[in-house]
Structure 1
Amino acid sequence: MTDDLSPAELAQRFESLESRLAHQEHWLDTLDQAVVQQERRLEKLEQLSGMMRERLREQHQALQASEPQSDQRPEDDIPPHY
């Protein structure tokens, strides 16, 4: 197929391929940067989630410590209509 093309046509095809390659490399770089940013954001969100989970655990423990200890919890009570 390339035997039929003139040197000018071959040069044009070569330039077209180089242009497409440059465009694809640009998009790969852009996508790579986006992945890196998403990874950093995910790490921050995981850290924040861990901190929130720890704080919730501490608040739950503080609430349990401040409640009077009884054998029966309010959610265990049977409603009066039973």
Structure 2
Amino acid sequence: MTNELSPAELTQLVESLESRLAHQEHWLDTLDQAVVQQERRLEKLEQLSGLMRERLREQHQALQASEPQGGQRPEDDVPPHY
């Protein structure tokens, strides 16, 4: 028993394979675009994180510089009723 296909069946098979290939290529392009967008977004978030880290460090240094020399901060004082 041989599995010979008619020319019409071969044409239909090739068209089916071409259609599937085109569909897969479309999805690969779509996924590639999504990855590129995510990469750009991640880069922006990393930059923002670095800026926020630097700003927090600056605020911490400014707070330390403004503290009294005794180490007591006004927010550490106990109210008189305690």
For the aligned pair, the TM-score class normalised by the smaller chain equals: 0.7 to 0.9
SS at match of 1:5: coil
Q: Aligned residue for 1:40? A: 40
Runs of 4+ in structure 1 off by over 2 angstroms are 1-4, 69-74
Per-residue deviation, 1:72:
7.2
Q: Structure 2, unaligned stretches of length 5 or more?
A: 77-82
**TM-score for the superposition, normalised by structure 1:** 0.81
Q: Structure 1, unaligned stretches of length 5 or more?
A: 75-82
Whole-angstrom CA distance in 1 between matches of 2:71 and 2:27: 64
Task: Note closer, same or farther for the CA distance 1:17–1:2 as it changes in structure 2 (3 Å cut).
Answer: farther
- Confirm whether residue 20 of structure 1 aligns to residue 20 of structure 2: yes
Whole-angstrom CA distance in 2 between matches of 1:23 and 1:13: 15
Bigger RCO of structures 1 and 2 (CA < 8 A, at least 6 apart):
1
